[in-house]
């Protein structure tokens, strides 16, 4: 039985794991870099160990150092969170070798999931449909061109070592393909020192729909419904929701069965996510398995009533999944907005710095997973995800309105955030009607709408702004003039300061 | 005081007209009178009720001429300047240079729209000497002392630069 878990991560996900551990009476070990001395995960864990410099390679990706801490702290398990070492099969292997329970799939299964080609081959064998494309890694640009012409442009060039939207190019003709092939190769070599590219048909107006899956060491597989994550920027998710507006009960069950087959096909254990593209004609194509706890897992927790981290720990303990597929009932509607520290108008460039003040929303059906607190800092060294704001409602509309309310309540001082963007998106008719696609932002001119909304907001608030400015100016005037009575008057309001 | 909001092409005049009670004011924004009751206030922000509606405003960044504030979650940049009339009056007539000064200087550049006096006329402190047009606004230039206009140094329709002499008043 797991008694002490080292969390090889930081930020909101480290806090999320700590929460469940506390509820289960499991001790937690936090690790932190130079940048994270004052971070909340350090304060909330049972123990905390410094593991190195701010740069991830010298701390959160330093396998040997983390192993040292696992051994010296007496941790019997490690939770990798997402990102960092979560899908690194070398790290999983290192843990296996040292008899540390890695809360996730086996290194062999992870290796299979991480290799897009091997994974695709396993899916074809299991009769799980995949996107048309090259049967394996293409030999060279010429080979890629041949396949592209066979399946028809536009096609995607994908680095098998990419992920999170990196190492992907969409090309429309032979010329673009040649250029794209070179740049993906270059990127991949500079990132991981090697390159291997596959070609896939680029499907237009697609939706990104994924399934939460779980499989225990006894071979029981279940799916815990779908999540629609179509609203993205640069192939990275912004807003997720469950259920998907285009998945009915029949589809949910049909694709869900494919998901269980997929989990079996790679001998997956623990929780994972099977990602699909849904073409406009309703066809589902398997893309990949994310061999980790997903960022957007809270919305699944909302509609299933499960604690997914607890389920992970149970499975890691060798227990059988304590329910059957038929026991799972989807309840209500959930939405997640990823609150990123970024400037929408600077092409989503990261925005970092100290956060003097923050107000975290709460209320019925509102959940906010975040590492923010007044006085914390958004570091330039790590992910721009500051908070995950999730809402639940009996109906989609209730969930949407709760989200709008929570977004309005969420105040983060010090950095630019994606909050205004989400308010604009959630108010569009297209979003309300569930007309989602991965090119949503571009298709519906969302950035222009955001600009208009910001101006409208200023217009609505202009008199309040002037009123505040008048009071403020009078205050300074009174200090300059130093008239005894006005000065006393303001002093009283400022508590004598 | 005059205020402009970035991205909104409208100039606002704002002032406190009257203190109604403890922390309660009657303020005027352009032609609208509004009731404002302060709930809390510090150098970082203010909470108040404006005409029966609660608002929370944060002061982020302030210089004498610009304020960055967040109004109920909406970031707004305001530029403020004292009315040109006030500046000119203060600098030319009231700012304590004394009544011995002969020359009346212009504190702003502008076009002469109207000359209200002629050489030899008797003027009192605060009487309008001329009207200049600057930044599409007409500004009255007022006498800085009681006296007799000895010489007018400007021409109707002409332009004046900042610190140009408008008239000599003895």
Q: Are B155 and B132 contained in the same domain? A: yes
Question: Rounded to two decimals, what is the model's pTM?
Answer: 0.79
Q: Are B106 and B160 contained in the same domain? A: yes
**Tens place of pLDDT per residue across chain B (170 aa):** 889 998 888 899 999 999 898 889 999 999 999 999 999 988 888 999 999 999 999 988 877 788 999 998 899 999 987 655 555 554 444 444 455 678 888 877 788 989 999 999 999 888 899 988 876 677 888 888 889 999 999 999 888 887 888 999 98
CA B10, CA B24: separation in Å to the nearest integer?
27
Q: Of B81, B101, B131, which residue sits at a domain end?
A: B81
CA A84, CA A18: separation in Å to the nearest integer?
17
Contact yes or no for A469 and B78 at CB 8 A: yes
Contact yes or no for B58 and A357 at CB 8 A: yes
Which residues of B are less than 8 Å from A470 in CB distance? Answer: 1, 3, 14-16, 27, 29
CA A77, CA B83: separation in Å to the nearest integer?
69
In A262-341, DSSP assigns E strands to: 270-278, 284-290, 333-340
Interval A218-263: pLDDT, tens: 999 999 999 999 999 988 999 999 999 999 999 999 999 999 999 9
DSSP B64: S
CA B50, CA A78: separation in Å to the nearest integer?
54
Q: Are B70 and B95 contained in the same domain? A: no
Residue A433 tokens, joined: 């009607």
Question: Mutate which of B22, B29, B60 to disrupt the A interface (most A C-beta within 10 Å)?
Answer: B29
Q: Are A232 and A331 contained in the same domain? A: yes
Average pLDDT of chain A to the nearest whole number: 93
CATH number, domain with residue B121: 2.40.50.100
Query: ∠ CA A243-A249-A253 to the nearest 5 degrees?
Result: 100
Contact yes or no for A470 and B29 at CB 8 A: yes
The angle that helices A141-151 and A174-192 make with each other, rounded to 10 degrees, is: 130
Report CA-CA distances (Å) from B137 to A212, A417, B133, B155, B160. Answer: 66, 39, 5, 19, 15
A329 is a domain residue: yes
What domain range is A157 assigned to? 132-201
Residue A281 exposure: Cα atoms within 13 Å on the Cβ side: 3
Q: Are B128 and B161 contained in the same domain? A: yes
Average pLDDT over residues A117-141: 91
Kindly state the helix (H) or strand (E) to which residue A265 belongs, with its residue range.
helix A249-265
Which residues of A are less than 8 Å from B23 in CB distance? Answer: 493
Out of A357, A460, A469, closest to residue B67 by CB: A469
Q: Are A137 and A10 contained in the same domain? A: no
Give the sheet arrangement for strand A77-79, strand by strand: A47-52, A27-33, A4-7, A77-79, A101-102
Contact yes or no for B48 and A468 at CB 8 A: yes
Contact yes or no for A471 and B25 at CB 8 A: yes
Q: Are A351 and A249 contained in the same domain? A: yes
Interval B34-83: pLDDT, tens: 999 999 988 888 999 999 999 999 988 877 788 999 998 899 999 987 65
Q: Are B74 and B100 contained in the same domain? A: no
Query: ∠ CA A351-A355-A360 to the nearest 5 degrees?
Result: 105
The predicted pLDDT at position A485 comes to: 46
Measure B144 CA to nearest chain A CA, in Å.
22
- Which residues 30-49 of chain B have a CB within 8 Å of chain A? 32, 34, 36, 38, 41-44, 46, 48
Q: Are A422 and A483 contained in the same domain? A: no
What domain range is B146 assigned to? 84-169
Q: Are B68 and B88 contained in the same domain? A: no
Average pLDDT over residues A411-419: 94
The angle that helices A63-73 and A89-97 make with each other, rounded to 10 degrees, is: 30
Q: What is the bridge-based pairing of β-strands A349-350 and B2-5? A: unpaired
A462 touches chain B (CB under 8 A): yes
User: Are A438 and A244 contacting, i.e. CB atoms less than 8 angstroms apart?
Assistant: no
Measure A413 CA to nearest chain B CA, in Å.
9
User: Are B59 and B46 contacting, i.e. CB atoms less than 8 angstroms apart?
Assistant: yes
Q: Are A229 and A358 contained in the same domain? A: yes
CA A46, CA A5: separation in Å to the nearest integer?
10
Contact yes or no for A468 and B57 at CB 8 A: yes
Q: Are A37 and A99 contained in the same domain? A: yes
CB count within 10 Å of CB A10 equals 29
B148 touches chain A (CB under 8 A): no
Q: Are B160 and B94 contained in the same domain? A: yes
Contact yes or no for A463 and B27 at CB 8 A: no
Of A436-450, A453-467, A470-484, the poorest mean pLDDT is in A470-484
B14 touches chain A (CB under 8 A): yes
Contact yes or no for A472 and B14 at CB 8 A: no
Q: Are A52 and A164 contained in the same domain? A: no
State percent of chain A over pLDDT 70: 94
Q: Of B81, B106, B131, which residue sits at a domain end?
A: B81
Number of domains in chain B: 2
A483 — pLDDT class (breaks 50, 70, 90): very low
Q: Which of A16, A227, A278, A292 is catalytic?
A: A292
Tokens 């551990």, located at residue: A21
A438 is a domain residue: yes
Q: Is A294 helix (H, G, I), strand (E, B) or coil?
A: coil
Nearest alpha carbon to residue A75 among A48, A51, A52, A114: A48
A97 is a domain residue: yes
For A349-392, the DSSP string reads EE--EEES-EE---STTEEEEE---TTEEE-TTS-SEEEEEEEE
A113 is a domain residue: no
Nearest alpha carbon to residue B119 among B79, B148, B161: B148
Q: Is A174 helix (H, G, I), strand (E, B) or coil?
A: helix
Contact yes or no for B41 and A471 at CB 8 A: yes
Q: Are A215 and A194 contained in the same domain? A: no
Q: Which residue does chain B place closest to A412, by CA atoms?
A: B73
DSSP A14: H
A483 touches chain B (CB under 8 A): no
CATH number, domain with residue A164: 3.30.1490.20
Q: Are B88 and B157 contained in the same domain? A: yes
A69 is a domain residue: yes
Q: Of B33, B57, B81, which residue sits at a domain end?
A: B81
Out of A457, A464, A493, closest to residue B50 by CB: A464
- Which residues 343-362 of chain A have a CB within 8 Å of chain B? 357
Contact yes or no for A468 and B69 at CB 8 A: yes
Q: Are B91 and B164 contained in the same domain? A: yes
Q: Are B141 and B125 contained in the same domain? A: yes
Q: What is the bridge-based pairing of β-strands A385-393 and A333-340? A: antiparallel
A238 is a domain residue: yes
Which residues of A are less than 8 Å from B59 in CB distance? Answer: 468, 472
CA B51, CA A467: separation in Å to the nearest integer?
11
Average pLDDT over residues A161-185: 86
Measure B87 CA to nearest chain A CA, in Å.
14
State percent of chain A over pLDDT 90: 84
Interval A350-383: pLDDT, tens: 999 999 999 999 999 999 999 999 999 999 999 9
A165 — pLDDT class (breaks 50, 70, 90): low
Q: How many CB pairs under 8 A join A and B?
A: 105
Number of domains in chain A: 4
Out of A458, A467, A489, closest to residue B27 by CB: A467
pLDDT at A215 over 60: yes
A470 touches chain B (CB under 8 A): yes
**A169 is a catalytic site residue:** no
Q: Are B125 and B61 contained in the same domain? A: no
Q: Are B154 and B133 contained in the same domain? A: yes
Contact yes or no for A468 and B72 at CB 8 A: no
A304 is a domain residue: yes
Beta bridge partners of B19: B25
- Burial B6-30, CB ≥16 within 10 A → b, else e: eeeeeebebebeeeeeebebebebe
Contacts of B34 (CB under 8 A, 6+ apart): A463, A467, B26, B27, B28, B50, B51
Nearest alpha carbon to residue B107 among B151, B164, B45, B23: B164
Q: Are A35 and A162 contained in the same domain? A: no
Question: Mutate which of B20, B23, B71 to disrupt the A interface (most A C-beta within 10 Å)?
Answer: B71
């Amino acid at each position: 039985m797991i008694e002490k878990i080292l969390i090889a991560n930081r930020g909101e996900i480290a806090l999320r794991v700590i929460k469940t551990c506390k509820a289960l009476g499991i001790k937690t070990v936090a690790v932190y870099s130079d940048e994270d001395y004052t971070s909340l995960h350090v304060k909330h864990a049972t123990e905390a160990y410094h593991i190195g410099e701010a740069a991830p390679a010298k701390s959160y990706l330093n396998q040997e150092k983390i192993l040292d801490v696992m051994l010296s702290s007496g941790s019997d398990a490690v939770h990798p969170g997402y990102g960092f070492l979560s899908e690194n099969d070398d790290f999983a292997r290192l843990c296996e070798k040292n008899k540390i329970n890695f809360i996730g799939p086996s290194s062999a299964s992870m290796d299979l999931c991480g290799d897009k080609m091997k994974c695709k081959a396993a899916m074809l064998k299991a009769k799980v449909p995949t996107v048309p494309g090259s049967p394996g890694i293409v030999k060279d640009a010429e080979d890629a061109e041949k396949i592209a012409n066979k399946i028809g442009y536009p096609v995607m060039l994908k680095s098998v070592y990419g992920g999170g939207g990196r190492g992907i190019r969409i090309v429309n003709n032979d010329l673009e393909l040649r250029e794209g092939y070179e740049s993906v190769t270059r990127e991949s070599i500079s990132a991981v020192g090697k390159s291997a590219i596959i070609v896939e048909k680029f499907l237009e107006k697609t939706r990104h729909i994924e399934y939460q899956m779980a499989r225990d060491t006894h071979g029981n597989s279940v799916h815990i419904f779908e999540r629609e994550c179509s609203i993205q920027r640069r192939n990275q998710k912004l807003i997720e929701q469950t259920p998907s507006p285009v998945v009915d009960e029949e589809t949910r069950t049909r694709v869900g069965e494919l998901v269980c087959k997929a989990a079996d096909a790679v001998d997956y254990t623990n929780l994972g996510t099977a990602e699909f593209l849904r073409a406009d004609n309703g066809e589902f194509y398997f893309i990949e398995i994310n061999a980790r706890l997903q960022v957007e897992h809270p919305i699944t927790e909302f509609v299933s009533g499960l604690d997914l981290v607890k389920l992970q720990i149970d499975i890691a303990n060798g227990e059988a999944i304590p329910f059957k597929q038929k026991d799972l009932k989807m309840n209500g509607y959930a939405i997640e907005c990823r609150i990123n520290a970024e400037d929408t108008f600077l092409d989503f460039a990261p925005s970092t710095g100290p956060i003097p003040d923050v107000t975290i929303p709460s209320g019925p059906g509102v959940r906010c997973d975040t590492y923010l607190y007044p006085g914390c800092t958004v570091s330039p060294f790590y992910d721009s995800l500051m908070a995950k704001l999730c809402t639940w409602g009996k109906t989609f509309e209730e969930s949407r309105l709760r989200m709008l309310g929570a977004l309005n309540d969420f105040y983060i001082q010090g950095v630019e955030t994606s909050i205004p963007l989400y308010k604009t998106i959630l108010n569009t008719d297209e979003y309300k009607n569930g007309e989602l696609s991965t090119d949503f932002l571009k298709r519906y001119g969302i950035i222009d709408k955001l600009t208009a909304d910001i101006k409208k907001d200023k217009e609505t608030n202009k008199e309040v702004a002037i009123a505040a400015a008048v009071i403020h100016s009078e205050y300074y005037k009174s200090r300059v003039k130093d008239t005894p009575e006005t000065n006393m008057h303001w002093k009283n309001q400022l508590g004598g300061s | 005081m005059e205020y402009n909001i970035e991205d909104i092409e409208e100039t606002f005049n704002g002032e406190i007209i009257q203190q109604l009670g403890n922390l309660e004011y009657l303020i005027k924004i352009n032609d609208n009178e509004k009731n404002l009751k302060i709930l809390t206030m510090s150098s970082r922000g203010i909470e108040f009720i404006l005409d029966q509606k609660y608002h929370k405003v944060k002061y982020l960044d302030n210089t004498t001429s610009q304020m960055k504030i967040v109004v109920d979650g909406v970031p707004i940049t305001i530029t403020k300047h004292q009315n040109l009339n006030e500046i000119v009056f203060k600098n030319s007539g009231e700012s304590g240079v004394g009544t011995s000064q002969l020359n009346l200087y212009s504190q702003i550049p502008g076009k002469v729209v109207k000359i209200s006096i002629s050489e030899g006329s008797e003027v009192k402190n605060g009487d309008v000497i001329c009207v200049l047009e600057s930044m599409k606004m007409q500004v009255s230039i007022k006498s800085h002392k009681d006296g007799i206009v000895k010489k007018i140094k400007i021409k109707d329709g002409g332009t004046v630069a900042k610190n140009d002499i408008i008239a000599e008043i003895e």
